[in-house]
Structure 1
């Protein structure tokens, strides 16, 4: 999160009660403890800021205090950043610039403290927390897996706004500073020490008479107080003697020619990666360059002004909106289930079933993976082991921890252990009769409280539940492939699904690390209803003669992670054929436009997409590049469609694809399939690859304008008919310019 600042002067006298910051003297060391009682993490909220101002004023005016230690009393968090709501409250770039400048002044006072200040870091030290820490004269961090340092502001479309763009390059060097600020990457304690972010590490303690976290914080405080005294007594040096290699690197970085080369290389790389859709990376580079080439004051000014511009940018508003949406979707809005899911059964050891098992055992769930094929079971178990062993090789997990996680998994060909299952997830073939059969079999061997979750991507949950003795316990849990990489979980409910069942399914999804949205049962649910529009419109454009490369470039230039034709190759042409036919039969002409017979021919020829090595493109194992499959292009030419020039410009191609998807999203909200716009945007971004810089279909309407979108769609409707007919909700918003999905 972003850094910010004590708005109130450090020397002023505040008369409100301190609730977030306390301190005590240990001999001549002031131990300052941070603890926001209203939240799970510490942020630089207004209350935290005012408390810090008062405490630092008292400490600096007390001649008996020779040094200070800053430490958090909150387990797992030093300072996670600033209160984003404070940033969002800015009404102009000038106001945001002033906010940044106040932060710079505050952090500068810490940097120029008359006494040494030690930051004792356990847990997350991010954004403003890191800017605060690197302004301290000494930093100690625990080796805990929870201790991470970073500048994730770029993920919110912002930059470190309290001097971070100036201090970080001086501390860790230009390449590492750019890497941290431009990627938002989080750094673990061991690497932080090697980089120079911290000077000392301490090992976390295990549980004893007190919980492990509490013992670790007490031990960290003890070490930090000792270091503070050692610094005052000149027994602990504030800086270490640089090695010959480090001195050489400093001399090289002192050459303006070298720095210019770095600026150029980094700028070109970020431009290529972001396609200019995200302004924050360029502003970060500008701010760093200003400071290094023109001096610290010029750097501060560039940082604050760039910060002010970014706060008011549409990209930042979109990314912050997604951040808030993610936080909401990682909380269980349905409360605590009556019975916690501890044992999870999974039916089907294919790609999806194995993936679900993988994210379950990793989070401590006792998992039973069942399949009718010994080969599938063996392959699934091996896949889970390899995924964990990769973590061991990368040193993010020990072999002992890997073996403990694997002990949570049992694989079998029968239903042994299912009598203890709290939930069973079926991931079998998409056939209603098969799903009815396995549901009945499961209910015969599981306890009455056991929940049956189906991983169907299209079949009606109500139809599946029709075969159940307890339909209130049946729910849809739509995972996305690959399960260990895709963040979204779409939970699908019927009118009969009990609130407790929803609470339990949400709890499992959140425990698996998923971002959870809850939607009502309907053909295609929410995500597929939107995604099939992209598929059908794309196919129509290909039949109209729009080239693959042109379509691909137009998709990525909008901010989609890959070109549209590649999306179809990734999904699979056979799956696309089945899905488009299913949606056409369910919703009629709204899903029309393309001649899907071409997909049948492609599938018959073996052109199923990446999984078969050939789709619209040809794929070779182990190679990233792709070639156009000219045989597939020739097949497309046999199913020609025509399009007037009036709807065929690059802009029109992009907005034909966008408008169909956006309109369907709004229709889902109109019909009550979606609970709110935020979940719709989260689902679109994390399942469909909708551009984060746009923020999702609902934020797109706010930004683009509902009236403008309606007029655009009417133009397409004249040519193509029903697929571009605006839904009533969109028409309502177009009539009233004051209506917005987000304030």
Structure 2
């Protein structure tokens, strides 16, 4: 059997072991069994070699220390006991680090996540680089898990309970300035000074580091040192967690339980209990769904067409509004130059100013430096003309949803660019083949559907037509990855995939309003189901005018199947209701209040202010099932290539509850037969919009899942 290449590279400088972690043939270091085995061998050497004073741990990767535990280890373990044992294996190696009589220093540059952070916590001293690439976190909660290598025990003891809980419960990142302020980092230095700083620390100490400085405030110390006031902290944490998760995610509650148990019963028992809870969480359906989502996102971040992709240095973005400026911002962050074109220089300059403001916020948060901001802004070129567009590799159009306007822009771009320039439309519903109908080079045209706000929404939906060239798809995919997006590729058609499944969801909410449901109950029920915002609030955010336009594009598709479609969005638009964008929607805006207040006036379009109560389960089933059923239609019609893309698109683009795994994993979890049965009852009561898709009925009949 061939021996695997070494992960640890060690050099001795003045009696200090400089250990560089560098996993061969991988972009990132992951904490896995091979690394643990090698590290155990190194600890044997460190403990037995009297000439070694201590060790400094560094990474051989440019952008990461350790990206976290290797989730692939989960695939070989199925029971909670096996997974708890895996967690304890990690504890054993980190206890050796912590209990080593010689100082071990972690020198952190780049991404330090999960098991990497837990390794750093077990070290005796932590030095963090001041670079904007450096971020530290315990994101296990996002996988439905808790940190299983001491994170729930060591972080609260290091930086304090009240500072630690937000990092543990949300998985948010800690940047260099936060690392210094909380006390996680003993020092913050330039990335190239990590090695020398680490050697200096080891040479100053013949034994492991002295007591860590306590950076908690007097109030924090007082609250955390008393068992009674600690109980209040944990009680408040649970209360806030219920408010945020609505009880749909078990992991945050187990994290609180793990931390509290450790405070009550001591560190060693806390570690044992942490492993037990880790195993229990790892086999929950919520964690299974989130872990599968993680694998799917990782797969989507590898361009399957990479070899056909062409290099992109320059992009043209047409339209400097919210979407156009967002696309520009995520593009310049990866070194791409963007010509931001609008009808007037004033509009283009406003788009540039919006980006400048966003980057300034990053400076204020110490995420980037002033120099980095200036460098990013220098890549933006506001313009009102197509001058230099012959040098543009990709044009992304982000103008109003008007077919004639988009066709006109295609003609202008083709006249002013090279024969190799790709044209991408950011349309949310118009078929790309219609936009390309009069084009000279339809093979260069595709859709690149971004979601608002572009800077935060992780999905890019690429839409290909029958004529789109493979190299065009490949290049657009590569650009999406460079912009930090998770990419799915779908076939052309009205609404493609995401808009197509969102439309019946919004339509059902409007129909229920016509039946007498209240705005508040609809939104509350779907948030309880697991959506981040309710359907009515979402329509306000998307724009009632946009909703009316989408309904117009898709109504024929749905009505051909006998579905009932609401005309209320068009009616509201004609009356001047556009939602948040003009402060006139289902909710009131513009008063500065964070709490949303219902706009009672809008009920005149839905039969008056007297509303009736619906059962929460009825609201949830009606809205969720029309979306899920439409996803199956898309798979059956070939709009989707596979169920995994359907799950990714729904979760990352539309906020479908991640803990349910997406429409197709939701069907598998509930059972196709059960879903068909529910839909047939609704079809009998409410009409053919609930008729189960043919593919869904087939899966129910054969008792086959959509996923292996």
Query: Does TM, scored on the shorter chain, surpass 0.5?
Result: yes
> What does 1:315-334 align with in structure 2 at a 5 Å threshold?
315-334=286-305
User: CA deviation digits over 1:685-719, x for unaligned, max 9?
Assistant: 12111111112101101111111001111111112
Is 1:655 matched up with 2:629?
Answer: no
Question: Aligned residue for 1:50?
Answer: 37
**Contact 1:45/1:83 (CA < 8 Å) preserved in 2?**
yes
Distance change in 2, residues 1:574/1:371 (3 Å): same
Equivalent position SS for 2:19: strand
Question: Aligned residue for 1:442?
Answer: 413
Question: Aligned residue for 2:599?
Answer: 629
Shift of 1:30: 2.5
Is 1:460 matched up with 2:431?
Answer: yes
Shift of 1:187: 1.1
**Contact 2:314/2:336 (CA < 8 Å) preserved in 1?**
yes
**Contact 2:517/2:611 (CA < 8 Å) preserved in 1?**
no
Question: Aligned residue for 2:484?
Answer: 513
Q: Distance in 1 between matches of 2:562 and 2:417?
A: 40
Equivalent position SS for 1:693: helix
> What does 1:266-415 align with in structure 2 at a 5 Å threshold?
266-337=237-308, 339-415=310-386
Bigger CA drift: 261-270 or 563-572? 563-572
Q: Distance in 1 between matches of 2:349 and 2:93?
A: 59
Question: Aligned residue for 1:426?
Answer: 397
Shift of 1:487: 1.8
Is 1:147 matched up with 2:105?
Answer: no
Distance change in 2, residues 1:431/1:672 (3 Å): same
Bigger CA drift: 580-589 or 448-457? 580-589
Question: Aligned residue for 2:198?
Answer: 224
Q: Distance in 1 between matches of 2:361 and 2:188?
A: 26
Question: Aligned residue for 1:7?
Answer: none
Q: Distance in 2 between matches of 1:450 and 1:562?
A: 38
Moved >6 Å (runs of 4+): 638-642
1:698 to 657, 664, 668: 664
Shift of 1:457: 1.5
2:580 to 610, 618, 624: 610
Distance change in 2, residues 1:291/1:632 (3 Å): same
Shift of 1:247: 7.1
Shift of 1:591: 7.3
Equivalent position SS for 2:700: helix
Give the root-mean-square deviation of aligned CA atoms: 2.4
Equivalent position SS for 1:167: helix
**Contact 1:70/1:120 (CA < 8 Å) preserved in 2?**
yes
Distance change in 2, residues 1:463/1:605 (3 Å): closer
Is 1:534 matched up with 2:505?
Answer: yes
Q: Distance in 2 between matches of 1:368 and 1:17?
A: 48
Q: Distance in 2 between matches of 1:659 and 1:479?
A: 25
Distance change in 2, residues 1:633/1:247 (3 Å): closer
Q: Distance in 1 between matches of 2:648 and 2:562?
A: 23
Question: Aligned residue for 2:183?
Answer: 196
Shift of 1:78: 1.6
Equivalent position SS for 1:367: strand
Q: Distance in 2 between matches of 1:655 and 1:510?
A: 35
Shift of 1:246: 5.7
After TM superposition, the score normalised by the length of structure 2 is 0.95
Shift of 1:562: 1.2
Q: Distance in 1 between matches of 2:346 and 2:203?
A: 64
**Contact 1:110/1:136 (CA < 8 Å) preserved in 2?**
yes
Question: Aligned residue for 2:24?
Answer: 37
Distance change in 2, residues 1:465/1:17 (3 Å): closer
Shift of 1:286: 0.6
Q: Distance in 2 between matches of 1:175 and 1:640?
A: 45
User: CA deviation digits over 1:17-49, x for unaligned, max 9?
Assistant: 662223243343233221110311111122212
Shift of 1:75: 1.9
Q: Distance in 2 between matches of 1:699 and 1:606?
A: 40
User: CA deviation digits over 1:186-233, x for unaligned, max 9?
Assistant: 1122321222212122213xxxxxxxxxxx3xx42233223212211x
> What does 1:687-726 align with in structure 2 at a 5 Å threshold?
687-726=653-692
Q: Distance in 2 between matches of 1:15 and 1:482?
A: 49
Question: Aligned residue for 2:157?
Answer: 170
Q: Distance in 2 between matches of 1:338 and 1:291?
A: 52
Bigger CA drift: 28-37 or 687-696? 28-37
Distance change in 2, residues 1:252/1:371 (3 Å): closer
Distance change in 2, residues 1:503/1:264 (3 Å): same
**Contact 1:537/1:593 (CA < 8 Å) preserved in 2?**
no
> What does 1:52-201 align with in structure 2 at a 5 Å threshold?
52-201=39-188
Q: Distance in 2 between matches of 1:326 and 1:151?
A: 19
Shift of 1:484: 2.1
Shift of 1:254: 1.4
**Contact 2:518/2:611 (CA < 8 Å) preserved in 1?**
no
Shift of 1:336: 4.1
Shift of 1:372: 1.9
Q: Distance in 2 between matches of 1:74 and 1:394?
A: 25
Shift of 1:586: 3.1
Bigger CA drift: 195-204 or 305-314? 195-204
Shift of 1:606: 2.1
Q: Give 5+ residue unaligned stretches, structure 2.
A: none
> What does 1:544-623 align with in structure 2 at a 5 Å threshold?
544-590=515-561, 592-596=563-567, 598-623=568-593
Question: Aligned residue for 1:210?
Answer: none
Shift of 1:425: 1.4
Q: Distance in 1 between matches of 2:398 and 2:559?
A: 28
Equivalent position SS for 2:660: coil
Bigger CA drift: 628-637 or 58-67? 58-67
User: CA deviation digits over 1:446-481, x for unaligned, max 9?
Assistant: 111111111222222112222111111111111222
Q: Distance in 2 between matches of 1:603 and 1:125?
A: 48
Q: Distance in 2 between matches of 1:118 and 1:104?
A: 18
Distance change in 2, residues 1:549/1:591 (3 Å): farther
Q: Distance in 2 between matches of 1:442 and 1:731?
A: 46
Equivalent position SS for 2:396: strand
Shift of 1:251: 4.9
Q: Distance in 1 between matches of 2:15 and 2:108?
A: 21
Shift of 1:493: 0.3
Bigger CA drift: 630-639 or 696-705? 630-639
Shift of 1:684: 0.4
Question: Aligned residue for 1:741?
Answer: 706
